[in-house]
Amino acid sequence: MVFAIGILLGIGLIFNVLGTISLYRFPDVYTRLHGTTKCTTFGSLFTSAAVVVYGLSRYFDGYDGRFVTLSLHVVVAILALLISNATGAHALARASHRSGIMPLYAVVDHLAEDEKNKGGRIS
Amino acid sequence: MTTEALFSYAAVVLGLAALVMLGRLIAGPTLADRAVALDAMNTLVVALMILLSVIFDSIVMVDVAIVYAGLSFVGTMFIARYLEGSM
Amino acid sequence: MVIFVASALTYLLLVWAGGAIEWLEVVIAIVFGGLMAVMARRWNPDITLRHSWLNPIRLARFVVYLFGPFLFALIQANLDVAMRVITGKINPGIVRIPTGLNGDGALTLLANSITLTPGTLTVDANDKSRELYIHWINVTNEKPGAEDICGTFPKWARRIAE
């Protein structure tokens, strides 16, 4: 059981550290959002899954109800994290495009073209 | 090695990663970069709280993590509204 | 009604500590659920959640979607982004795709799924023509269809939330 928890924690930590590196390695806001949103969400998912596995294994050791409660609450936290991270990333991307930050090295930008054609914001 | 020791090493690494993100939070060229770094730090802090709840053996910390996730979402939304200029 | 049921159930799930639930907690759950429903109706009178979200078949489909194609795409996305972080090779751009979805819930689900899947990030949505603007980290095709970017996700979104 220690082995499984160690592997889950290891995968989660690798992705979290990659998310941190991506914050320094990518050139502009949008690509940084890619790195941080995906990698930190996925990494936190795995470290929390390690906690769920730990709670369930402790429960089957001694049938203590507290550990089931721990696992359930961690699952609720994971769901809250998934929904709020995706929506927050979308909000930040839209806000930075509207505040005039254009994507660096972009080969195509349909949103800016459509806004120019319409003469204002889409939606 | 006990399982709790494993969790505490993982918590140390997560805390260090969140500290490294502070660099982008301070040095970000635009306000949007800082908001991105803050959002990522919040995610890491939620994961850290979930790990600490195992180390300190208290379920209340997971509830605090849930509330923190909700509050950080509201904070990100308000920063985004401010960046759009509609506030 | 949907908000009332969802908040009351969430409260009960959070106070449940392995044994029986006291009747006082049930009363508190009903009071808080009612409060949330009234507040949501009062502040956002235009937005109504339909009862189809409580349909068990749709919820079962949602769970299948979450653990099937969505989890697969999430793993693929992370390996992809990890490679890009290490090599630093990017070719970004913002593209427009038509979705053809009618419901707001379906569009929200699709936008959130796209944000967490390979190389794509939703930037803006057009409510009237039902199009999404997507930041794509590796542009291979300047006029992509919905299948190029999100695969089978629009079909799943239509079956879950429309």
- Gyration radius of chain C over CA positions: 20
How many CB atoms sit inside 10 A of residue B15's CB? 15
Q: Is residue A122 part of a domain?
A: no
Token pair, residue C15, equals 């106070």
Q: What is the pLDDT, as a whole number, of residue B16?
A: 92
Compute the average pLDDT of residues B56-63: 86
Residue C146: predicted pLDDT: 66
Gap between the Cα atoms of A54 and A68, Å rounded = 10
* Cα–Cα distance for residue pair B67/B34, rounded to 1 Å: 22
Q: Tell me which chain A residues have a C-beta less than 8 angstroms from the C-beta of B80.
A: 88, 91-92, 94-95
Residue-by-residue pLDDT tens, chain C, 162 positions: 777 877 888 888 877 766 677 788 888 888 988 888 888 888 877 666 666 666 778 778 888 888 888 888 888 878 888 888 788 777 787 877 777 777 777 777 788 888 777 777 888 877 777 777 888 877 777 676 666 666 677 777 777 766
Identify the contact set of chain C against chain A, taking CB-CB distances under 8 A: 10, 13-14, 16-19, 74-75, 77-78, 81-82, 84-86, 88, 90-96, 111-113, 115-116, 119, 121-128, 133, 135, 137, 139, 142
pLDDT of residue A27: 82
Mean pLDDT within B58-86: 88
Q: What tokens appear for C52 in the block?
A: 């189809």
pLDDT at residue B43 is higher than 70: yes
- Containing structural domain, residue B73: 3-84
Contacts of A31 in chain C (CB under 8 A): 90, 92, 137
Beta-carbon neighbour count of residue A51 at 10 Å?
26
Please compute the mean of the pLDDT values over residues B64-81 and round it to a whole number: 91
Q: Please state, in angstroms and rounded to a whole number, the distance separating the CA atoms of residues C78 and A40.
A: 10
Rounded Cα distance, B69 and B54, in Å: 18
Residue type, B77: M
This model of the complex carries an ipTM of 0.86
| pLDDT confidence of residue B71 | 92
Question: DSSP code of A123?
Answer: -
- Angstrom distance (rounded) from CA B84 to CA A98: 6
Residue A32 lies in a domain: yes
Task: Give the pLDDT of residue A117.
Answer: 74
What is the total count of domains within chain A?
A: 1
Amino acid B48: pLDDT: 92
By residue range, what is the domain housing residue A39? 2-102
For residue A79, give the chain B residue with the closest CA: B66
Instruction: Report how far residue C150's alpha carbon sits from residue C110's, in angstroms, rounded to the nearest whole number.
Output: 9
Query: Does residue A81 lie in a domain region?
Result: yes
Structure tokens at A7: 């592997």
Determine the pLDDT at residue C50: 62
The count of domains in chain B is 1
- With CA atoms as reference, report the closest residue to B21 among B8, B37, B4: B37
The DSSP line for C80-122 is: HHHHHHHH---B-EEEEEE-----HHHHHHHHHHHHTSTTEEE
Q: Which of B52, C55, C48 is nearest to A77 (CA)?
A: B52
Whether A115 is in a domain gets the answer: no
Spatial distance between the Cα atoms of C12 and C137, rounded to a whole number of angstroms: 42
| Min distance C123 CA to chain A CA atoms (Å) | 5
Q: Considering only CA atoms, which of B25, B44, C107, C92 is closest in space to residue A97?
A: C92
What is the identity of the amino acid at C162? E
Q: Which residues of C touch A34 (CB under 8 A)?
A: 81, 119, 121, 135, 137
- Shortest distance between the Cα of C38 and any Cα of chain A, in A, equals 22
Q: How far apart are CA A57 and CA A51, in angstroms?
A: 10
Cα–Cα dist A92/C152, whole Å: 26
Predicted pLDDT at C72: 84
10-residue stretch averages of pLDDT, chain A, 123 residues long: 88 89 84 84 89 88 80 87 87 85 74 71 62
Contact C94, A114 (CB under 8 A): no
User: A77, B65: Cβ pair inside 8 Å?
Assistant: yes
Smallest Cα distance from A63 to chain C, Å:
10
